[in-house]
Amino acid sequence: MISPLAYVDPEAKLGKNVTVLPFAYIEKNVEIGDDCVIMSYASILQGTKMGKGNKVHQNAVLGAEPQDFHYTGEESSLIIGDNNDIRENVVISRATFAGNATKIGNGNYLMDKVHLCHDVQINNNCVVGIGTTIAGECTLDDCVILSGNVTLHQYCHIGSWTLIQSGCRISKDVPPYVIMSGNPVAYHGVNAVVLSQHHNTSERILRHIANAYRLIYQGNFSVQDAVQKIIDQVPMSEEIENIVNFVKNSERGIVK
């Protein structure tokens, strides 16, 4: 159902069973998949491609021009997957350069006043809390939780199943399975409750993850030495391998 009070450019492509409520605004070069709901006063701007089952709430702006001095009007993209819930006043910018895209995966929940800047990459099943700002070219792996008013500096990489508590300012990479809190931000333990309840992580694996991070954050070793000690001392599993690979491949370095 498309309200006659909404503006939908004739060149926009809308799938089956799409609902567009009064005063929504949809530009040309926009694709919206089946069963999406675009609520009143939401704006879907050119370069945005959206999958199925997404819900976009009032005053959200998707595909905004990037707030980047390198942007000179290129036809860049915002690509959104399926079954995302994008709440009121969210702003998501498309990429800075032609051929690049800001990308949002599937099943994410973006709360009120979230701002995702140019070239951000968010994988699947993440929760981004009220008022959180994610600067350009940051990456969130699967199942990340960012609480309210978190700020990510550009180029940060946040590992999977990580919880970052309210108000944290992040300027380094955050490895998987941890809780970060405070300002300056610091390691606050393993995200054990979420891992056990939603990832079916066993108590044995949780102990191994805790031992790995004890070597990194409490062992008084360099990061490189801590990684080698993890390889030598902690039984290898998919989770431990993910930690080792993340830390070894971090370009910005991990939060101390």
What confidence score (pLDDT) does residue 55 get? 98
CATH 1.20.140.10 fits 193-247, yes or no: no
Which pLDDT tens digit goes with each residue over 185-241?
Answer: 999 999 999 999 998 999 999 999 999 999 999 988 999 999 999 999 999 999 999
Task: Categorize the per-residue pLDDT at 7 as very low, low, confident or very high, splitting at 50, 70 and 90.
Answer: very high
So where are the chain's domains? 5-136, 193-247
5-136 and 193-247 share one CATH topology?
Answer: no
CATH class of 5-136: mainly beta
Which pLDDT tens digit goes with each residue over 10-26?
Answer: 999 999 999 999 999 99
Q: Is pTM beyond 0.85 here?
A: yes
What confidence score (pLDDT) does residue 220 get? 87
Question: What number is the average pLDDT over the span 68-73?
Answer: 94
Which pLDDT tens digit goes with each residue over 122-174?
Answer: 999 999 999 999 999 999 999 999 999 999 999 999 999 999 999 999 999 99
Question: What number is the average pLDDT over the span 28-41?
Answer: 98
Label each residue of the chain as H, E or C. Answer: CECCCCEECCCCEECCCCEECCCCEECCCCEECCCCEECCCCEECCCEEECCCCEECCCCEEEECCCCCCCCCCCCEEEECCCCEECCCCEEECCCCCCCEEEECCCCEECCCCEECCCCEECCCCEECCCCEECCCCEECCCCEECCCCEECCCCEECCCCEECCCCEECCEECCCEEEECCCCEEEEECHHHHHHHCCCCHHHHHHHHHHHHHHHCCCCCHHHHHHHHHHHCCCCHHHHHHHHHHHHCCCCECC
Which pLDDT tens digit goes with each residue over 85-128?
Answer: 999 999 999 999 999 999 999 999 999 999 999 999 999 999 99
256 pLDDT above the threshold of 90: no
